[in-house]
Structure 1
Amino acid sequence: MITLLGREREVAELEGLVDRIRERGDALVVRGAPGIGKSALLAVAAARAEAYKVMVSSASGVQSETHLPFAGLHQLLRPMLGSADQLPARQREALLGAFGMAEVSDPEPFLVALAVLNLLGEAAVHRPLLVVVDDVQWLDRPTTEVLAFVARRVRSDPIVLLMGLRDGYPTSLDGSDVPELRLAGLDAAAAEELLDAHAAELSAGLRRRVLSEAAGNPLALVELPLAMDTGAVTTEAGLLPLTARLERAFAIRLAELPPHTRGLLLVAAADDGHDLAHTLAGGAMVAGAELTAEALAPAVDAGLVELHEQALRFRHPLVRSAIYQKAGRTDRLAAHAALARVHGHDPDRRAWHRAAAIAQRDESVAAELEGVAARARQRGAIPVAVTALRRAAEVSEEPTAGALRLLAAAELAFELGRGDQAAELLALAEPSVLGELPGARVVWLSEVLGEGRNDGPARIRRLVTTAETAEAAGDRQLALNFVQAAALRCWWSDPGWEQRRRVIALAERLAAGANDPELLITLATAAPVERGADVVERLIEVRDARLDGAMTRLLGVAASTVGAFDLVGDFLDASIADLRAQGRLGLLTRALSTQVWRQIFCGDWAGALLVAEEAERLARETAQPRRQASALGMLGLLAGLRGEEARGLALAAEGERVLGTVAVSSPVAVLLQHARGVIALCAGRHDEAFEHLWRLFEPGDAAHHLIWRQWVISELAEAAVAAGRQEPARRAVAELEQVAALTPSPLLHVGLRHARALLADDADAEALYQDALSADLSSWPTARARLLLAHGMWLRRRRRIQEARVPLRAARDAFDVLGLLAWGEKARQELRAAGEASDLRVPPAAEQLTSQELHIARLAASGLSNREIGQQLYLSHRTVSTHLYRAFPKLGITARAQLRDVLGDTSRD
């Protein structure tokens, strides 16, 4: 192809992907300016695939189809839908529901994405599959989000996904880890060769001008000479952007076409498809006369369009936009009005064309667009629903109706994770025309959009007042939302007992019962000390109750908030399984974040690493920067505990970058401070560790947190003793002793027993160590190992060498099992100082696996099939199989049945 002159390197890269498709999958975005050759490169890859008998599935975005939910995905998958029956029931229902082919009670976009991944994987079982998607920037957003999901997960399947994307258009692929091939202009020699092949007769002056203005763009090198022949490119045109000059070059040919041909081209440009029959029908309505395909012959001869059987396609997308922009406003309105009648059988297409055909507000059109939004939401295409509601608001005749539609659009945008878009829509809604309850909804959305801000007691008072308003208006759920938001702000920054008591009183009045999960989470966050005993008691009462994943997640968070991490798993294990099955990845990410702390405090460090990595990945995919920053902080802390100081600090820094401008008093910022303290402590930098951790205890410091400080008291005490700063640590312990008298928080009491012993005088220390070690620490193996280490160190420093070796050995062995390398090395150093050498730790076989391999192996050891594992981790079953295939040799096993034995305790859920 002549447009591929000078593209030898890019052609080789794409052909190489196809050549390796049987060995491994891949994904690649081919990005560049209009006319730079993206489509030609994709065509080369497709031709190579067909020559190798590789199956090719393709789709292309159309600018006027961006508002049709899953239109691009349906185009891509149409040949494979016959295999949808092989998908798991929930995935099949989600996929067919997305295409409007089945009713879906509760659509989840990520179930659609997983269904697509599995459908492509099944197709690739028979033959390797090349998926080519051009003009991604014009696909509907639900489709691009599915493609981004799939692109991150095809590495282990014989699938290559190639996507062409025009510069300057934001998509779901931006900022992803999908590799890109960026196309620049042709070099001088290739540009000259291409120009000479198409316009060898140009004068020297025009030739220099074309080469200069085209800047190596292949389409410009072909089209600008033709435009110059007709006078379309003037000196003034040369000042326009290249895209605009190319559009003008195409548009100039329209003037030479017959009126009926121009009318047909405008209808085709305004339509959201390629159907020739629709174009002819719409053109006939505009012209008032019967038209046939013959009327398009002049446009074909002019090189503007191509006819393929019953399809009309523009030679280049810029031709479509040139025709549409060149037309007058009246002509465009007429074309859309005709298309609205042509698509009368399709309510979505009809509504969009009606909306484009009016020059004034029209309530009937607004109502139709509201119907479009409802259907899009039912299919899981929330971005389309947001767009439809916004347009409905624009054409609403009544200000109140328009404001309500904007509010509904803002709520959906927030649900989608697009806080910026939600804030913009909310700003457009006029609050003065809304009633009491819609006004409360505006306040609620403003609250959650400003979640990271800390405005102190005044904001909590406003939230409680608005909750009371919602309660009086009869909207209990909205009132509960406000109460929970107020409680959460009490957790961030203590507004005083009076404010917190008001929040609790309202929560108890609204509660469905004493054990209502929404009440328990409110009590736990608003009064974790004062009502901690009530919360723990009620959690024990309800832990065998049958609740859905969202409710059990609340109970798990409530348990963690009051420091009962030993109870967290009773709720979160079931919640996580439920949320995975439902495809509710936003809530799943939150549940995983809480699960990590349970695993950290209760000693499942291998599991904590796996879950934190999954939480970080899902937080990125679901656009939850606070959750992503939290997961990065957890990963940093875990790296520090394994002695990987540099990596831990890098992860904490990345967490701060992701957190960005969110208020530094948020719990995520506190978590990052905690992580930095633990990293420094494990690296032996005790002064620095104390400084980081002390900030959690220092009133007035941005990192001060009344509850979180309870969880790090043992680390603070350890850093204080090593740094010679016992006195401030003793003051902190004294303060927490008063807290401990009010709450049974298990983690607080475990930490205090440790800290008392560390900070005690010699006369009291022995009894305090014995008291701490005699407590039931079966649920706290890490705390027990650290306590043994501290006791052994205390004994050795008092020259009780023989006695010291016993707890030091036990600590070393416990740390080795837990995988806490930094503390394990410290125990070995202490043993050496006590005159006893230790063998080097022999890493268990499981530590030879990557995180993904270990996660999959653990699930396989629990008895799940590859398909079940794939559904849990949102991977194809072939990817699961590949990871197990790689894991078996590392573990020294040959059969799945051996996994439980070789993994041992690491197979715990």
Structure 2
Amino acid sequence: MLYGRDVELQLLSDLTSRGLAGAGGALVLRGEAGIGKTALLGEARDAAVEQGWRALSAVGVQSEASIPFAGLHQLLRPVLDRASSLMARQRQALLAAFGMAEGVAPEMFSVGLASLELISGLAEESPVIVMIDDAQWVDRPSSEVLAFIARRLDTERAVMVLAVSEGHDTVLDDAGLPELPLAGLDDDAATALLDARAPDLDHAVRGRLLAEAAGNPLALVELVAALSEDRGISRTLMPWLPTTRRLERTFLSRASGLPESARTILLIAAADDEGDLAEILRAAEFLDGTAPSVGSLEPAVMAGLIELDGHEVRFRHSLVRSAIYQAATPSRRLAAHAALARALENHQERRAWHRAAASPGPDDDVALDLEAAALMALDRGAPRAAAEALRRAALLSDSNTNRGRLLLRSAEINFDLGDAAVARRQLAEAKSAKLEEGERLRLTLWMEALNEESWFSPERVRAFADVADQLAGAESDGAALALRALWPLSIGCWYGNPAQETRDLVVKTAQRLQRSDSDPMVLSIAACADPVEEAAWVVGTMAEIVPETVDDPAEQHALGASMTAIWAFDLSWPFLCAAVDGLRLQGRLGLLGEALASQAWAAIHLGKHRLAATAADEASRLSRDAGRPRWALVADLATATLASERGDYETANELIRATEAELLSVGAQSILGFAQFARGRYAMVNNLHSDAFEQLARVLDPSDIAYHPFVGYLGIADLIEAAARAGHDDEAERYFAQLDALAEKTSAPYLKAMAAYAHPLVAPDDKAEPLYQRALKTQLSSWPFHRARLLLAYGRWLRRRRRLIEARPPLRAAMESFDALGIRAFGEDARVELRAAGEAVARPAPDTLDGLTPQELQIAKLAASGMTNREIGMRLFLSHRTVGYHLHRIFPKLGITSRGQLRLADLGGD
């Protein structure tokens, strides 16, 4: 019986009730050791199993926190025979993660989707409860997969409950999962528990126990047990001793009376990461030279320290494990790990980590063993684990042998993972160690690339260029490596405001390193480093490249994103689409989120508004999944812009405010320009032209915190129109002259189109009409949104000159275009103008697609194309059951009853 936990038990019961109804979820229990997390997990599990649920469980173990996917393997091992039911790519990813299959290293999110599908398949037979105890000790790759699964259970007959000890930072902290903090028992519950355990306890001792336990139920139970064993209250209740330490002393007092053979086995089990009985007994024999029997464990079982479940040894509580391990002398702990390493001769990765734990000091042989484990981790799709193994190997290496090389490799992996701070620290450590000439050049290169001063200082870029040139001449892949290191400098140039000399140096360095005349990386670097000066060259060279000639989706993304950096959205589009498809196949969610965010903004400017909505929605979700919140915010601003255009002002305003606040809180001022663009579009849609002018002008004002000229040019046509319609004629003409000159210099298609759009808005009345007509006939054909807006402006211009009959065709065309694009706000403006021109206009027919969420529209289109639920789920990183749930919601919204009818439904062109 659990005392004082009625509220917590009810919350767990509510969670499983939702799971039974197909609306599962996850819950994190957090509290100090002994507070009752494990007991609550047990109660939830038992209650679920009684109702016919399938239970899967895993327990984090500190000693296995470095073994990639160890926790996930422990969780799924009982059901791995069902992996054959997965799609081939998912099955391959999961088995490769567990070292059970060879192939290309799987992406973590591919492993996550495979695990989710496995659980979802189980849940079709009976609901599933997933229990993770001591989640703070679960290895990082497994924790990332668990977070991925937990966020996707809301349409599953499955729930997940995770217990985390207070004071530990985990991947789960940023997963956005609901938490239930566990406090100590109140006085009544603590008294009831103590009375149940020791009804005849002396009143004074009873009072002291209640005070010392401070509501910790495990402390109450174990301290009573210690007293009943006549161990003396003076030893058990030390004044001012923390509850955790007091409990460890209690457990140790039990262990101290055990036979020597039992204590040896307990130490081995505490150091072990699997709990396999045969493995533990074999290591114990290596440790003491005497073969123990299973019977040797019986005293420890009788003392309530461990439990035997078939061939598995489990500690009754994680504090028992830590108490046993910490109480051993250092030499005895090292010997225990050495014995385990001998027992694990056929398990190379685990053996390497135990050898490392057994090493009292530098040992190059052990370090090379760990390096081999790092390579295995890379093959299993666990680069963070590989980087950690290399770091540990470096610590075990002599500075005159392998330390520098191992630190350099670890830093390179951390750089690829986006962990610049760790990479910098490791490079600084490697600097004083022995390195070969090529390694020393790579070290210098990465140190320059990771030094943000290099983004603004010509001297630092010149130093980087010298090293890059040397590396290109010294190593076969030196040029490619140098270009990879140069890429973040070019991004820094785009987001920052360096001197022109710096921009020139970055571009010239890239061009010297190019592998061909149209090297994708060189084009990408040039476009980002110096959009104004290099746009014309990049746009001209891009005419020779098609996405099919670029094999790597990451390079396709770099090219597509770079084209958006120079306002060439029509050129970027095929590359971004190819990158999105390729990155999906590879399961690279982090980069996929970036590509989708870039695709969303390109789609906004290209007039593909429904596709922009689905891309922005998915980019936001996947970027948060991948721990890249800034890209999620960029996507949210695209969503806000689209909401403004649809007339959903409340959503738009709330998204803009929330996103801007978050950007300011994390110091991401460089993205504020996108927030100003969204605010400006919001004001334009609402015909608040003075407000739109103020908002958009800020992005082109060097004294403003939101200053970012490259982003400012995205909204310069809106700015010119807002200025003209608000009566700021001089400013309108000044900004138009700026736009016209930039369009001519860069040859950027978007800027040329915007100049054609804005020219009649600022021209004298007697010269405006031919400018309207020329722009509409020739220069805005690829830009349907702005073409519709210019039709509206032209129709308004004609109507105000009382040329009513001539005004109707452009106004009608504008109205129809806005309706087709789903832009209600401007469509309503066109209707108002058309009525004023004397034409009766009916209200627009409601669009059934407006009733679908962006994700539902995406699923509907994929289903209409003939894809199965499993194929759709694999594409969108959802379980097949979640896809089916969404389809059942989609059918009534579209007025259909079956999947076959989706192919006949009008789901929009873009």
Q: Name the TM-score, length of structure 2 as normaliser.
A: 0.94
CA-CA distance at 1:74 after TM superposition: 1.4
Structure 2: how far apart are the matches of 1:450 and 1:804?
A: 59
Structure 2: how far apart are the matches of 1:561 and 1:61?
A: 45
Give the corresponding residue for 2:480: 477
Identity across the alignment (%): 47
Give the corresponding residue for 1:377: 378
Distance 1:901 1:713, change over 3 A: farther
CA-CA distance at 1:832 after TM superposition: 5.2
Q: Matched residue of 1:272: which SS? A: coil
Distance 1:658 1:450, change over 3 A: farther
Distance 1:665 1:198, change over 3 A: closer
Q: After TM superposition, list the pairs within 5 Å mapping 1:635-714 onto structure 2.
A: 635-659=639-663, 666=670, 668-714=671-717
Q: After TM superposition, list the pairs within 5 Å mapping 1:171-182 onto structure 2.
A: 171-182=170-181
CA-CA distance at 1:716 after TM superposition: 0.3
Give the corresponding residue for 2:416: 415
Give the corresponding residue for 2:395: 394
CA-CA distance at 1:834 after TM superposition: 4.8
Structure 2: how far apart are the matches of 1:587 and 1:187?
A: 49
Distance 1:645 1:240, change over 3 A: farther
Structure 1: how far apart are the matches of 2:686 and 2:218?
A: 59
Give the corresponding residue for 1:843: 846
Give the corresponding residue for 1:27: 26
Q: Is the 8 A contact 2:446 2:485 kept in 1?
A: no
Deviates more, 1:634-643 or 1:109-118: 634-643
Distance 1:36 1:499, change over 3 A: closer
Q: Is the 8 A contact 1:453 1:662 kept in 2?
A: no
CA-CA distance at 1:757 after TM superposition: 1.4
CA-CA distance at 1:749 after TM superposition: 1.1
Give the aligned residue type for 1:819: G
Q: Matched residue of 1:173: which SS? A: helix
Structure 1: how far apart are the matches of 2:424 and 2:198?
A: 52
Structure 2: how far apart are the matches of 1:47 and 1:235?
A: 33
2:754 to 751, 754, 772: 751
1:580 to 584, 590, 602: 584
Structure 2: how far apart are the matches of 1:534 and 1:889?
A: 52
Q: After TM superposition, list the pairs within 5 Å mapping 1:542-621 onto structure 2.
A: 542-543=545-546, 545-548=548-551, 549-621=553-625
CA-CA distance at 1:596 after TM superposition: 0.8
Q: Matched residue of 1:307: which SS? A: strand
> Could you give the per-residue CA deviations for residues 285-337 of structure 1, whole angstroms, max 9, x where no partner exists?
33333322333333223221223333322111101101111111122112112
Q: Is the 8 A contact 2:26 2:177 kept in 1?
A: yes
CA-CA distance at 1:33 after TM superposition: 2.1
Q: After TM superposition, list the pairs within 5 Å mapping 1:141-160 onto structure 2.
A: 141-160=140-159
Give the corresponding residue for 1:275: 276
Q: Is the 8 A contact 1:643 1:822 kept in 2?
A: yes
Q: Is the 8 A contact 2:403 2:433 kept in 1?
A: no
CA-CA distance at 1:61 after TM superposition: 1.8
Q: Is the 8 A contact 2:107 2:381 kept in 1?
A: yes
Q: Matched residue of 2:573: which SS? A: helix
CA-CA distance at 1:514 after TM superposition: 2.0
Deviates more, 1:253-262 or 1:212-221: 253-262
Deviates more, 1:179-188 or 1:582-591: 179-188
Distance 1:213 1:719, change over 3 A: farther
Q: Is the 8 A contact 1:641 1:682 kept in 2?
A: yes
Q: Matched residue of 1:5: which SS? A: coil
> Could you give the per-residue CA deviations for residues 411-458 of structure 1, whole angstroms, max 9, x where no partner exists?
323433444544444454435754554445445545665669963545
Give the aligned residue type for 1:334: A
Give the aligned residue type for 2:70: A
Q: Is the 8 A contact 2:461 2:505 kept in 1?
A: no
Distance 1:489 1:846, change over 3 A: same
Q: Is the 8 A contact 2:236 2:246 kept in 1?
A: no
Structure 2: how far apart are the matches of 1:149 and 1:471?
A: 40
Give the aligned residue type for 1:264: I
Distance 1:215 1:792, change over 3 A: farther
Q: Is the 8 A contact 1:154 1:160 kept in 2?
A: yes
Give the corresponding residue for 1:12: 10
Give the corresponding residue for 2:507: 504
Give the corresponding residue for 1:784: 787
Give the aligned residue type for 1:607: L
Alignment of 1:223 with 2:226, yes or no, is no
> Could you give the per-residue CA deviations for residues 35-82 of structure 1, whole angstroms, max 9, x where no partner exists?
222222222222223222222222222222212221121122122222
Q: Is the 8 A contact 1:191 1:211 kept in 2?
A: yes
Q: Is the 8 A contact 1:409 1:422 kept in 2?
A: yes
Q: Is the 8 A contact 1:463 1:482 kept in 2?
A: no
Alignment of 1:248 with 2:249, yes or no, is yes
CA-CA distance at 1:404 after TM superposition: 2.7
> Could you give the per-residue CA deviations for residues 678-718 of structure 1, whole angstroms, max 9, x where no partner exists?
22333343333222211232345444444333322211012
Q: Is the 8 A contact 1:625 1:659 kept in 2?
A: no
Q: Matched residue of 2:256: which SS? A: helix
Q: Is the 8 A contact 2:457 2:498 kept in 1?
A: yes
Structure 1: how far apart are the matches of 2:609 and 2:586?
A: 27
CA-CA distance at 1:100 after TM superposition: 0.8
Structure 2: how far apart are the matches of 1:812 and 1:449?
A: 51
Distance 1:434 1:813, change over 3 A: same
| Count of aligned pairs between the two proteins | 904
CA-CA distance at 1:751 after TM superposition: 0.9
Q: Matched residue of 2:456: which SS? A: coil
Alignment of 1:103 with 2:102, yes or no, is yes
Give the aligned residue type for 2:43: V
Distance 1:879 1:446, change over 3 A: farther
Give the aligned residue type for 1:577: D
Alignment of 1:69 with 2:72, yes or no, is no
Structure 1: how far apart are the matches of 2:263 and 2:621?
A: 50
Q: Matched residue of 1:237: which SS? A: coil
Alignment of 1:193 with 2:192, yes or no, is yes
Structure 2: how far apart are the matches of 1:794 and 1:462?
A: 57
Structure 1: how far apart are the matches of 2:217 and 2:742?
A: 73
Q: Is the 8 A contact 1:407 1:426 kept in 2?
A: yes
Distance 1:482 1:175, change over 3 A: closer
Structure 1: how far apart are the matches of 2:716 and 2:709?
A: 12
Deviates more, 1:204-213 or 1:225-234: 225-234
CA RMSD of aligned residues (A): 2.6
Structure 2: how far apart are the matches of 1:439 and 1:676?
A: 49
Structure 2: how far apart are the matches of 1:313 and 1:842?
A: 66
Q: Is the 8 A contact 2:479 2:514 kept in 1?
A: no
Distance 1:856 1:452, change over 3 A: farther
Structure 2: how far apart are the matches of 1:359 and 1:660?
A: 48
Give the corresponding residue for 1:624: 628
Q: Matched residue of 1:730: which SS? A: helix
CA-CA distance at 1:604 after TM superposition: 1.5
CA-CA distance at 1:119 after TM superposition: 1.7
Structure 1: how far apart are the matches of 2:842 and 2:68?
A: 62
Distance 1:306 1:898, change over 3 A: closer
CA-CA distance at 1:734 after TM superposition: 1.1
Give the corresponding residue for 1:354: 355
Q: Matched residue of 1:843: which SS? A: coil
Q: Is the 8 A contact 1:227 1:233 kept in 2?
A: no
Q: Name the TM-score, length of structure 1 as normaliser.
A: 0.94
Give the aligned residue type for 1:212: A
Give the corresponding residue for 1:814: 817
Deviates more, 1:457-466 or 1:210-219: 457-466
Q: Matched residue of 1:695: which SS? A: helix
Q: Which runs of 5+ in 1 are unaligned?
A: none
Give the aligned residue type for 2:63: S
Give the corresponding residue for 2:334: 333
Distance 1:793 1:399, change over 3 A: farther
Deviates more, 1:617-626 or 1:447-456: 447-456
Q: Which runs of 5+ in 2 are unaligned?
A: none
CA-CA distance at 1:799 after TM superposition: 4.2
Deviates more, 1:366-375 or 1:197-206: 197-206
Give the corresponding residue for 2:294: 293
CA-CA distance at 1:83 after TM superposition: 2.3
